[in-house]
Amino acid sequence: MDNPLLTTQELPAFSAVRPEHVTPAIEQLIAENQAAIKALKKSKSRDFADMVKQLDELEDRLNKAWSPVSHMNSVVNNDALRKVYNHCLSLLNEYSTRLGQDQGLFAIYQELEESEDFERVNLAQRQAIRNALRDFRLSGVDLTGEAKQQCAEIKKKLSEITSRFSEHVMDATDAWYKLIDDVDDLRGMPENAIALTRQNAEQRKMQGYLLTLDLPCYLPLMTYCENRDLRKEMYIARTTRASDQGPGSAEFDNSPLMQDILIQRKALAGILGFENFAELSLATKMAETPQQVLEFLMELAEKSKRVADQEFAEVEKFAAQHLDLHELQPWDVGFCSEKLKIAKFDLSEEQLRPYFPVPVVISGLFEVVRKLFDIEVRESNDIETWHADVTTFDIFRDDSLIARFYLDLYARPKKSGGAWMDECRTRRARLDGNLQLPVAYLTCNFPSPLGDTASLLSHSDVVTLFHEFGHGLHHMLTQIDCAPVSGIKGVAWDAVELPSQFLENWCWERESLPLISAHYQTGEPLPDDLLDKMLAAKNFQSGLQMIRQVEFALFDLRLHIEFDEHKDSQIQTILDQVRSEVSVVPVRPDNRFQHAFTHIFGSDDGYEAGYYSYKWAEVLSADAFSKFQEEGIFNRQTGELFLSTVLEQGGSKDPMDLFTAFRGRKPTVDALLRQEGIADLNG
């Protein structure tokens, strides 16, 4: 049988992919690419189309084979697939490292930059060449002998151990569950959340109510369940996952992996001539130095901590006076905060949930982007997927197909937690002259539908969906045809969150909320009184939320600046120091949040020494949205300007230049502090 991973069809044949197909396909494509590159280096041509486009063609064919494998490993994981995934990840890393250290290829790109033709190619192609030269140097192309070999070995090892870190988190999450016999133990929880635990049990052929550490189960329990002992048990189980303190500690403990990851990153930075890994990470980002990022984070902390202290004191006072809780524990904070929110605003997240059924939210999201960017999204029914839950859509402009995406919304076993957008296909001009359209994977972990009833989303779920779709638009609406800087490719990592955080704003506006909400039974719009309460509560505990993100970002950055393998327990020590400086909510000594911090330990995709990017880009997004607040949130001219200056440009230009082209000036933190209500509270 033909290997489905070697076909040239437009979209992956997911149902035909088997674990036994993966290794032969990847090995064959790597071998073919190496042969083709060898021939290219012997060629006398130094024309951009003859060289860079041919290299892009080779890279694209390999990506088309690997994309479905990598994605399925995240969303329908199994032991056989995991085994070949890890094996081929190692092969691909070796191949990528060899390319990055290929002095012959590097010389070709240098000749291209220095040739007269360089000024004749377009801006995107010039940027792609400059980025390639930078990346060659960051891959160790200038290294020789043992240093070059050591660099390659470190990159290979990092690929392996970061993947293993993520696997441990997934396995530790899936391994823990608790079966409840008496529904009274779940008192206070919303009926739909209880129904989900009942459905969990039924799916595993059990009687009762099955609790898991997946967020659709965990968050409602921590927010609403009156059973304090059960909240404590769930909290400890989730915050000790994949650690020496957690269940299954010997099997899933990430402690040695974290240490090894940091040792390897520090060694890699040293070999490449950087003082620390944070400097290496920032070499491809907007921020110029670790000190600049530290100052940025401390400015946010300084302007937020007083507000956060006041907010937490308010929770403590309320808990003591109204809930008879005089010593607040970490597993009480979400529960007490929700009770306080109800008392202050007469509003619970659960009151809003019936108004956000998935079909309504999806159609409303599509209407929002139609109004903003003049695009139409239509469901397609003829595209093969990897799971029955997955739906597929086409994007049209002026009745012309411009992009496609897969939407995988619901949590399930053997699916990585969280939410993300990833590339399935990149927009690019092919060698045959045709245009390859961009295709995206959009993945979330929302509660599944219950029987015939559509999944009802919390408003925070709605915000998450808009966030990921913002990433998707960045990838899918690009007009750049040069693959290395098309869509999100080539975009500085601390700017890549701009479109995603920007789109979240339409979840909060009076003019857009009626588009994305309607009662799942009656179809009635979100009542004015609920809307008023929701908007009044928008910035509830925004200081606490800001400080929490600053804590994560400072921990990440300081860890990658200061790490010293000769100091004992340094990961925990640095985290404790950061918490002592900025944290507000108390933390148990056995809390091992860092052992499941997949953003910085579970991959090498840009968030390591780059978690600050969320806040950095949020400054950009808040300032960008302020223009819509001034000119109208559905102002077509403003939408068209954001489309043409940001979404369509991909990584073809410096992100600060793109921002100033849209906003007319550089950004300031003031817009973010105003948006979060923190500037007002600081007086």
pLDDT at 249: 61
Average pLDDT for 308-318: 97
Asked whether the predicted pLDDT for residue 315 surpasses 90, the reply is yes
Burial class of residue 287, CB neighbours in 10 A (0-12, 13-18, 19+): buried
- How many CB atoms lie under 10 A from the CB of residue 313? 11
Average pLDDT for 335-358: 95
pLDDT digits 0-9 by tens, 111-167: 889 988 888 889 999 999 999 999 999 999 999 999 999 999 999 999 999 999 999
Architecture of domain 354-536: Orthogonal Bundle (1.10)
Average pLDDT for 38-43: 88
- How many CB atoms lie under 10 A from the CB of residue 65? 24
> DSSP character for 431?
T
Give this prediction's pTM: 0.92
Backbone angles phi, psi at 633, to 5 degrees: -70, -15
Domains 4-100+102-138 and 256-328+544-610 share a fold: no
Cα separation, 487 vs 652, in Å, equals 9
Say if residues 373 and 477 touch (Cβ distance below 8 Å). yes
pLDDT digits 0-9 by tens, 231-281: 999 999 999 999 999 876 678 999 999 999 999 999 999 999 999 999 999
Cα separation, 42 vs 123, in Å, equals 27
pLDDT digits 0-9 by tens, 530-541: 999 999 999 999
Fold of 256-328+544-610: Neurolysin; domain 3 (1.10.1370)
CB environment 650-670: b (16+ within 10 A), e (fewer): bbbbebeebbeebbeeebebe
Asked whether the predicted pLDDT for residue 599 surpasses 50, the reply is yes
β-strands 428-429, 435-436 pairing = antiparallel
Q: Which amino acid is located at 400 in the chain?
A: S
Q: So where are the chain's domains?
A: 4-100+102-138, 176-251, 256-328+544-610, 354-536
Asked whether the predicted pLDDT for residue 569 surpasses 70, the reply is yes
Which CATH superfamily, name and number, covers 4-100+102-138? Endopeptidase. Chain P; domain 1 (1.20.1050.40)
pLDDT digits 0-9 by tens, 65-91: 999 999 999 999 999 999 999 999 999
Q: Which amino acid is located at 331 in the chain?
A: W
pLDDT at 605: 78
How far the first Cα of the chain sits from its last, in Å, is: 70
More confident residue, 382 or 364: 364
User: Look-up: residue for tokens 């919303």?
Assistant: 190
pLDDT at 683: 47
CA nearest 133: which of 98, 105, 94?
105
Average pLDDT for 331-341: 97
Cα separation, 248 vs 234, in Å, equals 15
Cα separation, 413 vs 166, in Å, equals 15
Asked whether the predicted pLDDT for residue 208 surpasses 80, the reply is yes
Q: What percent of the chain has pLDDT over 90?
A: 88
Cα separation, 277 vs 297, in Å, equals 18
Say if residues 43 and 471 touch (Cβ distance below 8 Å). no
Asked whether the predicted pLDDT for residue 47 surpasses 80, the reply is no
- Which helix or strand (DSSP H or E) is residue 544 part of? helix 542-562
Which residues are known to be catalytic? 468
Q: What is the sign of the dihedral through the CA atoms of 586, 583, 164 and 270?
A: negative
Q: Which amino acid is located at 305 in the chain?
A: K
pLDDT at 680: 59
pLDDT at 49: 67
Cα separation, 347 vs 333, in Å, equals 17
Instruction: Give the chain's mean pLDDT.
Output: 94
